[in-house]
Amino acid sequence: MKILLYGGTFDPPHNGHKNNLRAALERVRPDRAIVMPAGTPPHKHASATPAELRLQMCQCFRALSPAVEVSDWEIRQGGRSYTVHTLEMLRDANPGAELYLCVGSDMLLTFGEWYRWQDMLKMAALVVESRTGTDDAALHAAAAKLEQAGGTVLFAQAESYPCASSDIRSGKIPPEKWPEVLPPEVLAVIRKNKLYGAM
């Protein structure tokens, strides 16, 4: 049993997130791919978007594969979400399963600063979204360092997508451009609930 974990704030999830998960699915071919919206991520300010709506928007990922499921486990825990706790839950609930953790290229560069990162390396292989599609020297140096610490790092070539969730929230990408960068299911939730300044 291969289980792939894809976590994030997803405030909102956009086409770049879908591209990243699509690449990871192709690289790992998991039996289960669990999309896990964070409760309160430790490295970011708390999301102003209600967790229930972020959970609804994450249903967009299910179109990628029958293996994809969306979990509210981190949200239900309350407080700050630490990925190591989620991995421990998955390990304990699925004895003998091979765990994979999907991380963006920017996250790989700072992975050594994550809470209990050494324990995470023991539990799960990292699947890195190489968004540029090139062999970036800094990225491979970071991967080599983590492998020296006992980790396994796999690269998934995701199509580069010039969008960040913060661009939607800040208005850098205006509402008229949203259909170009957001899945239709996400757009529907945003408009229905008037999120991010939508009218």
Q: Are 155 and 128 in contact (CB under 8 A)?
A: yes
pLDDT value of position 130 = 74
What Cα–Cα distance (Å) separates residue 119 from each residue in 85, 126, 129, 164, 182? 10, 12, 21, 29, 35
Average pLDDT across the chain, whole number: 90
pLDDT value of position 198 = 75
148-184 burial: b if 16+ Cβ within 10 Å, else e: eeebebebbebeeeebebeebbeeebeeeebeebbbe
pLDDT by residue (tens digit) across 99-130? 999 998 888 888 999 999 999 999 999 999 87
DSSP state of 189: H
Residue 181 CA, distance from chain mean position? 17
pLDDT at 42 over 60: no
The mean per-residue pLDDT over the stretch 1-26 comes to 94
The mean per-residue pLDDT over the stretch 75-87 comes to 88
* Short-list 92, 131, 94, 88, CA closest to 109: 131
pLDDT value of position 185 = 95
Q: Which of 84 and 132 is assigned the larger pLDDT?
A: 84
Give residue 135's pLDDT band: very low, low, confident or very high (50, 70, 90): low
pLDDT at 133 over 60: no
CATH level 3 topology of 2-197: Rossmann fold (3.40.50)
The mean per-residue pLDDT over the stretch 150-156 comes to 93
Domain residue spans of the chain: 2-197
Q: Are 104 and 139 in contact (CB under 8 A)?
A: no
